[in-house]
Amino acid sequence: MNKIGLIANITKEQSQGVLGKVCDYLDDNNKEYILDEASAQLLERETIAKPYQVLVDFVDAIIVFGGDGTFLKAARTFVKSSVPILGINLGSLGFLTDIELDRLDQGLEELLNGNYSIEERIVLEGRLIREDKEIDRVVAINDLVITKGSFSRIINLKTFIDGKYVTTYPGDGLIISTPTGSTAYSLSAGGPIVNPKMESLIITPICPHTLHSRSIITTEDEKITVEIDADHSNIMLTVDGQDSLQLFSGDVIEFEKTDLVSRLIKLEDYNFYKVLRNRLQGNKF
């Protein structure tokens, strides 16, 4: 790693101090770094900065400072590149971030010494079909979620796997998740925890109006199709909890794994089950 990109969530109170400390560490170890423009404004020093969208073109790796939301934004923005991403946790849960503040120096030392591996996580694609025409196409690292919006009336979601009818979910919505996203919204809706190295998709209903609905885990090469039936138009497709598309009754959304992968830097002592235990027990879920 000859050049490292740094992206901070500037709304986090700790961002300025932690970002400055990392820059000092990289300076002391003669490593070049580039910040995105918003992060550079946090520091009272001259530094090289590039616009967020193109930062990935100038670096060999990216470090993001924040929580899972900050990490997800970077991962989706740069998913078409081969540049790996490492997270420094300034949030609460931080399932995707790898370095806690109490081991910041140790984590940076491991990174610069090459004591890490790169995990490739699957990426989910959703295609919105309206009146037999593709209207939009989105990708997600965690999940794509169909929700009924602010109305209290349920929506009916007719669901197929590889063209075979499975069931119709009456309820508040449906989560289509990657294994990486199994510890996000899907988990809070009662979905299973899946090792993020697996290649599969998870279907989890949100508040289903039935006594027998359960999550379904598909194989990596199966396509999930959902047809929407509702008596109102306040329906949304949400991408990683950050972006959204309006949906209407009669719309069809096709979900499947793409050929893209998200590349995550995992330090030498990373263990998914240890992270899982610390995050869930530490937050008393």
Q: Would you call 24 a catalytic residue per the annotation?
A: no
Q: How far is CA 214 from CA 111, 169, 175, in A?
A: 41, 10, 12
- The CA distance from 213 to 170, in Å, is 10
Provide the H-helix boundaries in 41-81. 68-77
Q: How far is CA 19 from CA 24, 173, 228, in A?
A: 9, 39, 45
The amino acid at residue 200 is: S
Long-range contacts of 86-90 (CB under 8 A, 24+ apart): 86/61, 86/62, 86/111, 86/116, 86/264, 86/265, 86/267, 87/63, 88/18, 88/22, 88/63, 88/64, 90/9, 90/12, 90/14, 90/15, 90/18, 90/65, 90/66
Residues whose CB falls within 8 Å of the CB of residue 63, separated by 6 or more in sequence, listed in order: 4, 5, 6, 7, 22, 85, 86, 87, 88
Q: How far is CA 110 from CA 105, 107, 276, in A?
A: 9, 5, 22
The amino acid at residue 130 is: R
Considering only CA atoms, which of 169, 271, 160 is closest in space to residue 230? 169
Secondary structure letter of residue 119 according to DSSP? E
Catalytic residue among 68, 98, 172, 251: 68
- Residues annotated catalytic, as ranges: 68
